[in-house]
Amino acid sequence: MFLTRSDDYPLEQMIDVAAGRTRADLVLKNANVVNVFSGEVTKGDIAIHREYIAGIGDYVGNEVIDLKGKYVTPSFIDGHVHVESSMVMPIQYARAVVPHGTGSVIADPHEIANVLGTEGILYMSKSMRGGPLEFYMMLPSCVPSTDLETNGVALDFLDIKPLMTEHYVLGLAEAMNYPGVIYRDPDILEKIQVALRMGKMIDGHAPNLQGLDLNAYVSARITSDHECIDIDEARTKLAAGMHIHIREGSTAKNLTNLAPLMQPHTAMFCSFVTDDRNTLDILERGHIDSMIRDAIELGVDPVLAIKVATISTARHYGLQYVGAIAPGYHADVVVLDSLEKINVEMVFKQGILVAKDGKMIQEFGVEEQPRLRRSVNIHYLEPEDFQVKARGDQMNVIGMIPDQVTTERLIEDTKVVDGLVVPDIDRDIVKVAIIERHNASEPRAIGFVKGMGIKDGAMVSSIAHDSHNIVVVATNDRDLIEAAIQIVRMQGGIAIAKDGKIIESLPLPIAGLMSDQPIEHVSEKLKDLKRAAQTLGTPLEEPFMAMSFLSLPVIPKLKITDLGLVDVERFRLIDLFDVTS
């Protein structure tokens, strides 16, 4: 961790520098300083001593950088992110986001925990130390997220309790088993009690929850939610006392709908989060800086948007002396060309210039190659395993919704050939398969999805939220099986098959979620994969991320796990041909 503990604070030196009796180590001269407390922009010099801001005024320093009227803001904070979704190791992730002005993230290692349990959490916590990005952690609360799927491990409150004592652990991550909270499931309640007794925060995850059920959920002292997709839902949860995480990931894009929530009287109860954003998306679009930029374009006051990206998140999570430019605060600051374009020119981490003009100029820490156990083990695949015998004229079909992780439950006519249900390319209905990959056991499920847009071949990934079994979307069984076998060969990753051959692939050998290669390599391979996906016909901007959420059984309405189709609203498995209930 980069964080300096409060007992290291040079109290007397700071007072002397702040009073002008002693030179500062560094002075950022002639700055336009964004004050997230008052909402004003003021002119002055920023005096930095060691890792801290001593004051704003007229100062002299041992080193001086004349900003010539450029704007200075606190560094940005991502209030909820799964670093694994970037597909790169933590230090590589830092290299991607820090040049965009991000100084801290609230990370939930939920994805790797579902594959490797505490082994994965400890790997992430170790890998997050010593870099230019402040990693805080929320411990996964739902591993597995439900009993409607097979994952790698199960974590109970005894597994997470020892980790709660770490200073960088802020609390319990998204309590996505919201029915379990409402109906007092002992497992999730024990984890909540551990967090509460240790004075820690609890994050929420409760799509569409309202009324008395919402009251019951919030009464468990769950304080935030990142699943709001429209303004009415966000206002309802805000009124119930929840901190609203406004999400803009690679697939789930909620900022446009939620921008009106950011008003002077509500901004302190909002944060920006990416949740799941891959490396290519970060490198091309940006990170939290892109959300500030988009919010401004949607009519949000620039200083208000910066407030949401900084002090609001810091105060919600109890981060002291973080998220503002003020005496005594950590010298984590960003230099912008203007408050309209939000182009990041310089990034300082605790007084050190770490990035300039979109590039890292200071590297911290060494990425160790992890020694993690094998995480892709599948039972022998037979062609007949993926055949679907027709048992009705209609079937349940997962209906994709553009730019959302929610889906529809559609009732569609079956297309039958020789007694078997087959994809109907003309209606954009293709086969989706989930194959258990943790224990080499036999569970696998076959369903159909509408909205992927592919007309040939198959796409496969070992990233399949939340249990991360193998997910394949295919127009034919030959490519489906070849694609699945490629995941075993690579020990995790993403691949595309066509005409019985693999035409493009990206190995993700770290838990089947992350590459062991630099961000530049991963981003180029993602470009190649997206181009290959387009040759199959998909129009989706993020087809692999969209595919990964088809198996998430805590997001409405219809999903599929290795155990079968899941009616999320009723929280139960349903038969492919049961279209009456």
Q: Dihedral (C-alpha) 334, 337, 342, 347: value to the nearest 10 degrees?
A: -20
Instruction: Specify burial of residue 7 (Cβ count, 10 A radius: 0-12, 13-18, 19+).
Output: exposed
Q: Which of 472, 460, 581 is nearest to 529 (CA)?
A: 460
Instruction: Specify burial of residue 371 (Cβ count, 10 A radius: 0-12, 13-18, 19+).
Output: exposed
- Give the per-residue pLDDT at 289: 98
Structure tokens at 182: 């409402």
- Cα 478 from Cα 499, distance rounded (Å): 8
- Give the per-residue pLDDT at 264: 97
What tens digit of pLDDT does each residue of 3-29 get? 444 558 999 999 999 999 999 999 999
- Cα 67 from Cα 283, distance rounded (Å): 26
111 dihedral zone (left: phi>0; alpha: psi -120 to 50; beta): alpha
- Continuous H helices in 128-183: 157-160, 178-182
Q: What residues pair up with 419 in beta bridges, in sequence order? A: none
**Residue-wise pLDDT tens for the chain (581 aa)?**
344 445 589 999 999 999 999 999 999 999 999 999 999 999 999 999 999 999 999 999 999 999 999 999 999 999 999 999 999 999 999 999 999 999 999 999 999 999 999 999 999 998 888 788 999 999 999 898 888 999 989 999 999 999 999 999 999 999 988 989 999 999 999 999 999 999 999 999 999 999 999 999 999 999 999 999 999 999 999 999 999 999 999 888 999 999 999 999 999 999 999 999 999 999 999 999 999 999 999 999 999 999 999 999 999 999 999 999 999 999 999 999 999 999 999 999 999 999 999 999 976 655 666 778 788 988 888 888 899 999 999 999 999 998 888 999 999 999 999 999 999 999 999 999 999 999 888 879 999 999 999 999 999 999 999 899 999 999 999 999 999 999 999 999 999 999 999 999 999 999 999 999 999 999 999 999 999 999 999 999 889 999 999 999 988 999 999 999 999 988 899 999 999 87
Amino acid, res. 36 = V
Q: How many CA atoms lie within 13 A of 133 on its CB side?
A: 29
Q: How many CA atoms lie within 13 A of 514 on its CB side?
A: 28
CA distances from 80 to 50, 269, 276, 287, 400 (A): 29, 14, 9, 12, 24
- Cα 517 from Cα 510, distance rounded (Å): 10
In 3-state terms the chain splits into helix, strand, coil percentages (rounded to 5) of 30, 30, 40
Alpha-carbon torsion (354, 359, 360, 361), positive or negative: negative
Q: Which domains does the chain have, with CATH numbers?
A: 74-321 (3.20.20.140), 383-574 (no CATH)
Alpha-carbon torsion (318, 323, 327, 331), positive or negative: positive
- Cα 499 from Cα 518, distance rounded (Å): 31
Check: CB of residue 328 under 8 Å from CB of residue 341.
Answer: no
